[in-house]
Homo-oligomer: A and B are copies of this chain.
Amino acid sequence: MTTAPHKLRPIRRDHRTDKVSIIDQRLLPHELVVIDLETVSDAVRAIREMAVRGAPLIGVTAAYGLFLAARAGAGRGVDDASLRQAARLLTDARPTAVNLAWAVARVLAATLAAPQAARPEAARRAADAVWEEELENCRRIGEAGLPLIRALHAERGGETVNILTHCNAGWLACVDYGTATAPIYLAAEAGIDVHVWVDETRPLNQGARLTAWELGQRGVRHTIITDNAGGHLMQHGLVDMVIVGTDRTTCTGDVANKIGTYLKALAARDNGVPFYVALPSSTFDWHLRDGLREIPIEERAPDEVRYVQGLAGNRLERVLVPPADSPAANYAFDVTPARLVTGFITERGVCRATEADIRRLFPDKGPPE
């Protein structure tokens, strides 16, 4: 384990008591509440209602969800049908992120392979492995991306490097470091003067609530902007680089990420700003070739658009912004075509957004097409 025990984590399994707990991210940044997941239903609900979110984290949460299902047999272990049913519930909790299905498939296979009595232990080990690998992948993504920031810093004669990010692909979305933020944290640790433009990321404001909070926790300089502002900043030379995460990326390089990412990619292209996507290999979908046609885009409740949550005085409050009878639509993700992506930052290094270059880094992954 590479983790220091005092560090805040979006999910952890207590090694003494075996309790699985998460930070309820719906209440951040104003309340830091840790809740226990007791059953697979708790895990499904946490994923669906976005108490946990972010592609790597919902994968890890689902992995522990399956562990909770495996443990439910209370010593006797659970049968195949129950495990498969739990796996299906977890996988169906959200449709867009592929890590979810990947993590569940992996823990399910390891658990089914064990004799019934040994299944809780097998599931625990497999889930822990997912946890540790995602942590290690994020650290490596940071190391792979750091030279890009270092080069911009040199290019700018040592002046501040301004990086724009959308949504939260930070340590709150992973286990530590984050994906998009990993190179940023490593650059800050290396003494490079970085400043982050944080898209507030409507409708759920993961940028304003989560990315700003976690950057602040680690002392990284940042400024919150509306999702509308990035194009203007790029037109005026105020953005040196964009780094975002992704919920699913095809083997051809099409990137599903939080709604609005595509607009930032267009602006980056129009202004010659490099646009990078940081991801662990678990986020590649090796089966899909056309992101726009093939990646399912989740539609969520319109009230997530109509209501905004924040602090009124010292209590959390939800306010209705539009007229009570005006309808809203809530598409959660969009797809940025590979042609707009400068490169991918992965745990195995940086590659261009082409199938050939992706497969060069990951010759061992996915089915041959």
Least CB distance from A256 to B in Å reads 10
A235–B334 CB distance below 8 A = yes
Give Cα A204–Cα B223 distance, bound, in whole angstroms.
Answer: 18
Interface residues in A299-317 (C-beta closer than 8 Å to B): 305-312, 317
CB contacts under 8 Å to B, within A303-343, are 305-312, 317-331, 333-335
Chain B positions within 8 Å of A309 at CB level: 319, 321
Question: A212 contacts which chain B residues (CB < 8 A)?
Answer: 322-323, 326
A322–B29 CB distance below 8 A = yes
Q: A202-B200, A322-B212 are in contact. Are A223 and B329 (CB under 8 A)?
A: yes
Q: Are A319 and B323 in contact (CB under 8 A)?
A: no
- For residue A334, which residue of chain B has the nearest CB? B232
Query: Is A276 among interface residues, defined by CB-CB distance under 8 A?
Result: no
* B-side contacts of A95, CB under 8 Å: none
Are A216 and B325 neighbours in the complex by a CB distance under 8 Å? yes
The answer to whether B326 touches A319, judged by C-beta atoms less than 8 angstroms apart, is no
Q: A262 near B310 (CB under 8 angstroms)?
A: no
Q: Which of A14-22, A75-83, A146-154, A263-271 touches B?
A: A263-271
CB-CB < 8 A to A200: which residues of B? Answer: 202, 305, 321-322
- When C-beta atoms are compared, the residue in chain B nearest to A310 turns out to be B319
Contact, CB under 8 Å: A328 / B297: no
When distances are taken between beta carbons in the complex, the residues of chain B under 8 Å from A312 are 312, 317-320
Least CB separation from A270: chain B residue: B266
Task: Report whether over half of chain A's contact residues are helix, strand or loop; otherwise say mixed.
Answer: mixed
- Residue among B30, B223, B319, B326 making CB contact with A311, cutoff 8 Å: B319
Report the Cα distance A312→B262, complex, angstroms: 33
Q: Which of A201, A311, A323 has the most CB of B within 10 A?
A: A323
Among residues of B, the one whose C-beta sits closest to the C-beta of A323 is B29
Q: Which residues of B contact A259 (CB under 8 A)?
A: 226, 228-229, 232
Nearest CB in chain B: distance from A181 CB, A: 15
Answer yes or no: A129 CB below 8 A from chain B CBs: no
Q: A216-B326, A317-B319 are in contact. Are A229 and B331 (CB under 8 A)?
A: yes
Q: Looking at the complex, which one of B262, B317, B329 makes contact with A317 (CB distance below 8 Å)?
A: B317
Contacting residues, chain B, for A202 (C-beta < 8 A): 200, 202, 226-228
Name the interface residues of A11-34: CB closer than 8 Å to any CB of B.
29-30
Contact A224 B326, beta carbon cutoff 8 Å = yes
- Is A224's CB under 8 angstroms from B322's CB? yes
- A260 touches which of B227, B297, B305 (Cβ 8 Å): B227
The residue among A224, A260, A317, A333 with the most chain B CB atoms within 10 A of its own CB is A224
Is A205 positioned at the interface, with any CB of B under 8 Å from its CB? yes
A222 at the interface (CB under 8 A from B): yes
Whole-angstrom distance between the Cβ of A316 and the nearest chain B Cβ: 8
Of B29, B222, B331, the residue contacting A232 (CB under 8 A) is: B331
Residues of A within 8 A of B (CB): 29-30, 198, 200-203, 205, 208-209, 212-213, 216, 222-233, 235-236, 258-260, 262-264, 266-267, 270, 292, 297, 305-312, 317-331, 333-335
